[in-house]
Amino acid sequence: MIGQWIADDADSADQNGSNRPAGKIRANPSNPRHLRAIIFLLASVLLLALALWLRWQYVQTISLYVDEFTTLWAAQRTQEIGAPIMPSGVLYTRGLLTTYVTAAVGALVGLDYTTGRLPSVIFGLATILVLFAAGRREWQARVGWLAALGLALLPEAIVWGGRARFYAQLQFFTLLTIWTAYWAIQEDSRPVSQKNQVVGRHLLFTVCFILALFSQEQMVLLYPPLLLGMVLWRGWRFLLRPAIWPSHLLILAALAVRYAIEILGQPGFFETIQAERPYVAPIFDVAATWPAYAPLLIAPDRLPWTLTALLAIGVALLALARGGWRPTQIDRFHQATLFFTLQFAFVLAFILTLVGGQWRETRYLFFVQPVWLLTGAAGAVWLIDRLLRREQWRWAATATLSGLIVWNGWAPAMTTLTRQVEGYDRVLAYVAAHRQPGDVVMSPQPPACAFVLGAPCDYYAVQRVYAEFVIPQEGVLVDRWTGAALLNDTAQLAQIIRTAPRVWFVTDALRLATRYDGDFQRMVVTQFDKAFEERGVTALLAQGWRAAPAYTEIRELATPLAFGRLALTGWRAGALTPGQPLPVELTWQATAPIDRQLNTSLRLVNAEGVTVAQEDGPPARGILPTNLFFEAALPDLKTLTLPADLPPGRYRLEVVVYAIEGGAVEAGPLEIGDVVMQNP
């Protein structure tokens, strides 16, 4: 069928890019159009195979993004009780339709990491097909081909087409919604008796919109520009036609239902989000917002698409001006450019001017990125057609441009397959294999804990940025998604360590560095040991309370001693006893951003300058990497093994700070103080 489309389109596209009714192709192998159709069909199969391979590689090699566990946990709950109702009693409303799709796939083939990601792979590939079909029908086949090729290689399309989240599904239904909306407003010259098909077009648009809305509520952003496009093309009275207004009434009803589900299904969630980090904040600060989204449009591998998109828009606007500013009076090629661009431009403008600062993430533009690709492809094809008169030359130029797109997009696509995320899947699997009866498990990622371990973890351990994720239940705050009790107090942590036989704390380094206070971090460093670590996530294990050593020397430095980008704020040391370990605790604080892992070397030096004991190792016992040292003062626990024949006397404590890779010295050796061993 794709081959038929391309062959038909070659006949129907005139020099201005307009499409006349497509003719039929005869099955004549000697016909150049027929041969070209066969070649194009093979190329399309290879394109889909490439897209599938890229997404499947992502599925198989990249750990689960933390939000994927929430989708899988919600799907599991849906399988168990028929709805994504969490143990806390709230309804998981994010990606509601995706949850049911994932649960259905899981019911057929079993729910695990791979099958949970499978719906996104399917929707990602389906979007490529729809993108080609939309480009072929509304512009011409070469536009659809170039756009589909761009989407197949687009890094974020590979990512979201390989993750168990709702973005691939949302993009698929969004593209269908925009396309069916444009199709629904086209002039119809058929007899009134056939106009029931018009009703069908608008109902199809409505169904696609509702499916997108229940895939993710962000779809609400597209309703205003879709309405605006219909008014600009057909006038406001068009919306009042008996064949039209019921469709929009259904959409408004769906919006109301979606809002009610949000408010009733998750009590207090919307209000808390708006208070803590509002979705909408009318700051109109484009200069501050633009850097978050600029790489999507003007990065070196993206700029050609943006430039050709601007060319297509400029040409279409010029045609619109010549047509008396009436969209229906200009070539359909340019009409499609203007209508589709209106949707992308509205969403981009809204994001740049009204979205709250904490929601400035590139993924929120993903659902309309196919429009950007279509417009860019339209500009490239228009330019080719202006420069080349002969059809075979145009196809040769398109083939060359396709090669350039692959060459330009291959490296970013492959980089995506090497960019790992936090390995909660790997680390929690280790905990599941080594967990013993009576063990307590806590984590800042309760859905991951619940899905991997088969039941909610004991505590949702976090001290900052948690208000929107907890709900009161029986007098305590619990995690919304799993019902795990909130642990946000250092004294409570100490009590758990003292009373439980073993305590697991599963967290990633970034959250440990940013979501906890200094006293909590200090307790983690002093009470827990690394049990397993992979891809930035660590399983820490505490096996009973660890009493602090007996320190006889305690020095708090009024002026921190600078060691490059680390500053020593104080130290403590035990008594010197020959043949016995000497415990020393250094306290470090970062004074500037650190871009590498640093080690510290503590040395005990006699009066002659000879080092008699030394220990090297990372500050904070490596539980927190030094590139994540911030304002909190963190302990550096060292134990020096003293010689059995160590004579009495005064000894200096010296410290060197150096990089692990390469061994470059950051600072030192510097004396931090001295300790004395008295005569027995």
Average pLDDT of every residue of the chain: 89
Residue 69 has pLDDT above 80, yes or no: yes
The encoded tokens of residue 39 equal 């070649």
User: In this predicted structure, which of 307-321, 346-360, 410-424, 626-640 has the lowest mean pLDDT?
Assistant: 346-360
Burial group, residue 670, by CB count within 10 angstroms (0-12, 13-18, 19+): middle
Cα gap 564→570, rounded to integer Å:
16
Q: Kindly give, in sequence order, each residue whose CB lies less than 8 Å from that of residue 627, ignoring residues fewer than 6 positions away.
A: 593, 594, 595, 596, 597
Q: What's the confidence (pLDDT) of residue 34? A: 73
- The more confident residue out of 679 and 327 is 327
Q: What's the confidence (pLDDT) of residue 11? A: 40
Domain coordinates in residue numbering, the chain = 2-61+93-416, 424-542, 553-677
Q: What's the confidence (pLDDT) of residue 244? A: 86
pLDDT tens-place string over residues 290-318:
888 999 999 999 999 999 999 999 999 99
Q: What's the confidence (pLDDT) of residue 159? A: 97
Cα gap 415→345, rounded to integer Å:
29
pLDDT tens-place string over residues 148-197:
999 999 999 999 999 999 999 999 999 999 999 999 988 654 444 455 66
**Bridge partners (DSSP) listed for residue 567:** 562, 589
Q: What's the confidence (pLDDT) of residue 468? A: 87
Q: What's the confidence (pLDDT) of residue 562? A: 93
* Residues 587 and 594 sit within 8 Å (Cβ to Cβ): no
**Bridge partners (DSSP) listed for residue 674:** 652
Residue 17 has pLDDT above 50, yes or no: no
Residue 122 has pLDDT above 60, yes or no: yes
pLDDT band at residue 201 under the 50/70/90 scheme: confident
Average pLDDT (130-144) is 95
pLDDT tens-place string over residues 261-296:
988 888 877 777 776 677 776 666 778 788 889 999
For 553-677, CATH gives 2.60.40.770
Average pLDDT (520-548) is 95
pLDDT band at residue 604 under the 50/70/90 scheme: very high
Q: What is the 3-state secondary structure (H, E, C) of 70-121?
A: HHHHHHHHHHHHCCCECCCCCECCCCHHHHHHHHHHHHHHCCCHHHHHHHHH
Q: Kindly give, in sequence order, each residue whose CB lies less than 8 Å from that of residue 442, ignoring residues fewer than 6 positions away.
A: 457, 458, 459, 460, 461, 484, 487, 496, 503, 504, 505, 506
pLDDT tens-place string over residues 407-438:
999 999 999 999 999 999 999 999 999 999 99
Percent of all residues in the chain with a pLDDT value above 90, rounded to a whole number: 74
Kindly report the pTM of this predicted structure: 0.88
Calculate the CA 599 to chain-centre distance.
32
Q: If DSSP codes are grouped into helix, strand and coil, which group holds residue 536?
A: coil
pLDDT tens-place string over residues 582-603:
999 999 999 999 999 999 999 9
CB-based burial, 532-570: b 16+ in 10 Å, e otherwise: bbbbbbbbbbbeeeeeebeeebeeeeeebbebbbbbbbb
pLDDT tens-place string over residues 451-498:
999 989 999 999 998 888 999 988 899 999 999 999 999 999 999 999
- The more confident residue out of 12 and 533 is 533
Burial group, residue 659, by CB count within 10 angstroms (0-12, 13-18, 19+): middle
Four-CA torsion 76, 78, 80, 81, nearest 10 degrees:
150
Q: What's the confidence (pLDDT) of residue 100? A: 97
Q: What's the confidence (pLDDT) of residue 18? A: 42
Q: What's the confidence (pLDDT) of residue 35? A: 72
Q: What's the confidence (pLDDT) of residue 177? A: 97
Cα gap 370→529, rounded to integer Å:
48
Cα gap 47→125, rounded to integer Å:
10
Laid out side by side, the sheet with 634-641 consists of: 553-563, 566-573, 581-590, 634-641
* Residues 442 and 459 sit within 8 Å (Cβ to Cβ): yes
- The more confident residue out of 218 and 191 is 218
Residue 19 has pLDDT above 80, yes or no: no
pLDDT band at residue 614 under the 50/70/90 scheme: very high
Residue 27 has pLDDT above 50, yes or no: no
